[in-house]
Amino acid sequence: MSYLGINASLRTNVSFRSKTDEDYHKGLSRLELFHDLNITDCVVLEYMHDVCLGVMKRLISFWKKGKKSVRLINDNVTNEISSELEHLKSYFPKEFNRLPRSLEELEYWKAVEFRSFLLYSGPIVLKGKLQKTFYKHFMLLHCAIRLLVSNETCITYNELANTLLRQFVIEYAERYGEEYITYNVHGLIHVSHFVKIHGSLDTFSAFKFENYLQNIKNTLKNARFPL
Protein backbone atom coordinates (compact mmCIF):
# COMPACT_ATOMS: atom_id res chain seq x y z
CA MET A 1 0.00 0.00 0.00
CA SER A 2 1.63 3.20 -1.14
CA TYR A 3 2.17 6.21 1.06
CA LEU A 4 0.86 8.25 -1.91
CA GLY A 5 -2.62 7.68 -0.47
CA ILE A 6 -1.71 9.48 2.74
CA ASN A 7 -4.17 12.32 2.06
CA ALA A 8 -7.04 10.17 0.80
CA SER A 9 -10.45 10.61 2.43
CA LEU A 10 -11.06 8.37 5.43
CA ARG A 11 -13.34 5.42 4.92
CA THR A 12 -16.66 5.88 6.78
CA ASN A 13 -19.28 3.49 8.04
CA VAL A 14 -21.53 4.50 5.14
CA SER A 15 -18.83 4.14 2.46
CA PHE A 16 -17.77 0.77 3.93
CA ARG A 17 -21.30 -0.62 3.93
CA SER A 18 -22.04 0.70 0.43
CA LYS A 19 -18.68 -0.70 -0.77
CA THR A 20 -17.68 2.43 -2.65
CA ASP A 21 -14.10 1.09 -2.79
CA GLU A 22 -14.79 -2.21 -4.55
CA ASP A 23 -11.17 -3.38 -4.44
CA TYR A 24 -11.14 -3.21 -0.63
CA HIS A 25 -13.86 -5.83 -0.10
CA LYS A 26 -13.63 -9.59 -0.48
CA GLY A 27 -17.26 -10.27 0.34
CA LEU A 28 -19.82 -9.60 3.06
CA SER A 29 -18.51 -9.06 6.58
CA ARG A 30 -20.65 -10.58 9.32
CA LEU A 31 -20.26 -7.30 11.18
CA GLU A 32 -22.48 -5.73 8.55
CA LEU A 33 -25.37 -7.73 10.01
CA PHE A 34 -25.25 -5.44 13.06
CA HIS A 35 -26.93 -2.43 11.53
CA ASP A 36 -26.32 -0.10 14.48
CA LEU A 37 -22.58 -0.82 14.55
CA ASN A 38 -20.24 1.87 13.24
CA ILE A 39 -17.74 -0.51 11.69
CA THR A 40 -14.99 1.95 10.82
CA ASP A 41 -14.91 3.31 14.37
CA CYS A 42 -15.20 -0.01 16.23
CA VAL A 43 -12.80 -2.14 14.16
CA VAL A 44 -9.58 -0.53 15.32
CA LEU A 45 -5.91 -0.64 14.37
CA GLU A 46 -4.47 -2.29 17.49
CA TYR A 47 -0.99 -1.12 18.40
CA MET A 48 0.41 -4.30 19.92
CA HIS A 49 0.26 -5.92 16.50
CA ASP A 50 0.38 -2.91 14.19
CA VAL A 51 3.12 -0.89 15.89
CA CYS A 52 5.11 -3.19 18.19
CA LEU A 53 5.07 -6.56 16.39
CA GLY A 54 4.68 -4.82 13.04
CA VAL A 55 6.59 -1.60 12.52
CA MET A 56 9.05 -1.75 15.44
CA LYS A 57 10.07 -5.33 14.74
CA ARG A 58 10.59 -4.54 11.05
CA LEU A 59 12.75 -1.51 11.84
CA ILE A 60 15.10 -3.48 14.09
CA SER A 61 15.35 -6.17 11.41
CA PHE A 62 16.30 -3.51 8.85
CA TRP A 63 18.99 -2.08 11.14
CA LYS A 64 20.40 -5.47 11.99
CA LYS A 65 20.36 -7.32 8.68
CA GLY A 66 18.84 -5.08 6.00
CA LYS A 67 20.64 -3.59 3.02
CA LYS A 68 23.91 -1.89 3.90
CA SER A 69 22.57 1.66 3.53
CA VAL A 70 20.07 1.23 6.40
CA ARG A 71 22.11 -0.85 8.83
CA LEU A 72 23.69 0.19 12.11
CA ILE A 73 26.86 2.23 11.64
CA ASN A 74 29.22 -0.77 11.88
CA ASP A 75 29.30 -4.50 12.59
CA ASN A 76 30.38 -4.08 16.21
CA VAL A 77 27.41 -1.94 17.16
CA THR A 78 24.98 -4.85 17.40
CA ASN A 79 27.03 -6.33 20.24
CA GLU A 80 27.30 -2.91 21.91
CA ILE A 81 23.53 -2.44 21.82
CA SER A 82 22.98 -5.94 23.17
CA SER A 83 25.39 -5.25 26.05
CA GLU A 84 23.62 -1.99 26.87
CA LEU A 85 20.21 -3.69 26.83
CA GLU A 86 21.52 -6.33 29.23
CA HIS A 87 22.96 -3.57 31.43
CA LEU A 88 19.58 -1.80 31.57
CA LYS A 89 17.93 -4.83 33.19
CA SER A 90 18.84 -3.68 36.70
CA TYR A 91 17.15 -0.32 36.08
CA PHE A 92 13.81 -1.71 34.93
CA PRO A 93 11.12 -1.51 37.65
CA LYS A 94 9.13 -4.58 38.68
CA GLU A 95 6.07 -3.33 36.78
CA PHE A 96 7.74 -4.51 33.54
CA ASN A 97 6.77 -8.12 32.79
CA ARG A 98 9.91 -8.76 30.75
CA LEU A 99 13.42 -7.40 31.02
CA PRO A 100 15.49 -6.32 27.98
CA ARG A 101 17.20 -9.06 26.00
CA SER A 102 20.07 -9.15 23.53
CA LEU A 103 19.46 -8.44 19.84
CA GLU A 104 20.78 -11.95 19.25
CA GLU A 105 17.50 -13.17 20.74
CA LEU A 106 15.39 -10.84 18.59
CA GLU A 107 13.43 -13.67 17.00
CA TYR A 108 12.22 -14.67 20.46
CA TRP A 109 11.21 -11.18 21.62
CA LYS A 110 7.61 -10.79 22.73
CA ALA A 111 5.39 -7.85 21.85
CA VAL A 112 5.98 -6.23 25.25
CA GLU A 113 9.74 -6.24 24.58
CA PHE A 114 9.27 -4.35 21.33
CA ARG A 115 7.05 -1.91 23.21
CA SER A 116 9.64 -1.24 25.91
CA PHE A 117 12.31 -0.80 23.21
CA LEU A 118 10.13 1.70 21.34
CA LEU A 119 9.03 3.67 24.39
CA TYR A 120 12.03 3.45 26.73
CA SER A 121 15.30 1.75 25.83
CA GLY A 122 15.49 2.33 22.07
CA PRO A 123 16.21 6.08 22.15
CA ILE A 124 19.04 5.40 24.61
CA VAL A 125 20.80 2.41 23.04
CA LEU A 126 20.44 3.58 19.42
CA LYS A 127 21.90 7.06 19.86
CA GLY A 128 25.25 7.27 18.10
CA LYS A 129 24.88 3.74 16.73
CA LEU A 130 22.33 4.40 14.04
CA GLN A 131 22.84 6.87 11.21
CA LYS A 132 21.56 10.27 12.38
CA THR A 133 18.83 10.53 9.75
CA PHE A 134 17.50 7.08 10.65
CA TYR A 135 17.70 7.85 14.36
CA LYS A 136 15.68 11.05 13.91
CA HIS A 137 13.18 9.12 11.83
CA PHE A 138 12.80 6.52 14.59
CA MET A 139 12.27 9.31 17.12
CA LEU A 140 9.23 10.50 15.16
CA LEU A 141 7.60 7.15 15.92
CA HIS A 142 8.85 7.12 19.51
CA CYS A 143 7.49 10.59 20.31
CA ALA A 144 4.14 10.00 18.62
CA ILE A 145 3.45 6.71 20.39
CA ARG A 146 4.60 8.14 23.73
CA LEU A 147 1.99 10.87 23.31
CA LEU A 148 -0.77 8.46 22.31
CA VAL A 149 -0.08 5.85 24.98
CA SER A 150 -0.52 8.37 27.83
CA ASN A 151 -3.93 9.28 29.22
CA GLU A 152 -2.59 12.76 29.97
CA THR A 153 -1.41 13.59 26.44
CA CYS A 154 -3.29 11.33 24.00
CA ILE A 155 -6.06 13.88 23.37
CA THR A 156 -4.31 17.18 24.11
CA TYR A 157 -1.46 16.39 21.71
CA ASN A 158 -3.41 14.12 19.37
CA GLU A 159 -2.92 16.33 16.31
CA LEU A 160 0.81 16.64 16.99
CA ALA A 161 1.10 12.84 17.25
CA ASN A 162 -0.80 12.48 13.98
CA THR A 163 1.55 14.95 12.27
CA LEU A 164 4.59 13.02 13.52
CA LEU A 165 3.19 9.69 12.35
CA ARG A 166 2.31 11.01 8.90
CA GLN A 167 5.83 12.41 8.58
CA PHE A 168 7.20 9.05 9.72
CA VAL A 169 5.27 7.24 6.96
CA ILE A 170 6.42 9.69 4.27
CA GLU A 171 10.07 9.41 5.33
CA TYR A 172 9.78 5.63 5.70
CA ALA A 173 9.25 5.34 1.96
CA GLU A 174 12.20 7.64 1.30
CA ARG A 175 14.60 5.84 3.65
CA TYR A 176 13.63 2.18 3.37
CA GLY A 177 11.83 2.03 0.04
CA GLU A 178 8.22 2.53 -1.02
CA GLU A 179 7.91 -1.21 -1.57
CA TYR A 180 8.19 -1.67 2.22
CA ILE A 181 5.16 0.47 3.00
CA THR A 182 3.12 -2.40 4.40
CA TYR A 183 -0.39 -2.27 5.82
CA ASN A 184 1.13 -1.82 9.29
CA VAL A 185 3.17 1.19 8.20
CA HIS A 186 0.33 2.83 6.28
CA GLY A 187 -1.99 2.21 9.23
CA LEU A 188 0.05 4.55 11.40
CA ILE A 189 -1.67 7.55 9.80
CA HIS A 190 -4.99 6.35 11.29
CA VAL A 191 -3.87 5.47 14.83
CA SER A 192 -4.53 8.90 16.36
CA HIS A 193 -8.07 8.81 14.95
CA PHE A 194 -8.90 5.72 16.99
CA VAL A 195 -7.34 7.28 20.08
CA LYS A 196 -9.76 10.20 19.76
CA ILE A 197 -12.65 7.73 19.84
CA HIS A 198 -11.48 5.10 22.33
CA GLY A 199 -8.82 6.78 24.48
CA SER A 200 -5.10 6.07 24.92
CA LEU A 201 -3.57 3.17 23.00
CA ASP A 202 -3.49 0.81 25.98
CA THR A 203 -7.24 1.29 26.42
CA PHE A 204 -7.87 -0.85 23.35
CA SER A 205 -4.64 -2.82 22.98
CA ALA A 206 -4.28 -6.61 23.07
CA PHE A 207 -1.48 -6.57 25.65
CA LYS A 208 -3.83 -7.51 28.48
CA PHE A 209 -4.80 -10.65 26.59
CA GLU A 210 -1.19 -11.53 25.75
CA ASN A 211 -0.31 -11.49 29.46
CA TYR A 212 -3.50 -13.36 30.33
CA LEU A 213 -2.77 -16.16 27.88
CA GLN A 214 0.85 -16.36 29.01
CA ASN A 215 -0.29 -16.73 32.62
CA ILE A 216 -2.61 -19.57 31.64
CA LYS A 217 0.23 -21.31 29.77
CA ASN A 218 2.53 -20.96 32.78
CA THR A 219 -0.16 -22.29 35.12
CA LEU A 220 -0.78 -25.35 32.95
CA LYS A 221 2.96 -25.92 32.53
CA ASN A 222 3.55 -25.89 36.27
CA ALA A 223 0.40 -27.81 37.21
CA ARG A 224 0.71 -31.23 38.83
CA PHE A 225 -2.12 -33.58 38.01
CA PRO A 226 -2.71 -36.78 40.02
CA LEU A 227 -2.42 -40.05 38.12
Tens digit of each residue's pLDDT (9 = 90 or more) over 78-102: 999 999 999 999 999 988 889 999 9
In this structure, how many other beta carbons lie within 10 angstroms of the beta carbon of residue 85? 22
Q: What is the pTM of this model?
A: 0.85
154-167 burial code (b ≥16 CB/10 A, e <16): bbebbeebbebbbb
pLDDT digits (tens, 9 = 90+) for 49-70: 999 999 999 999 999 999 999 9
**DSSP structural state of residue 8:** S
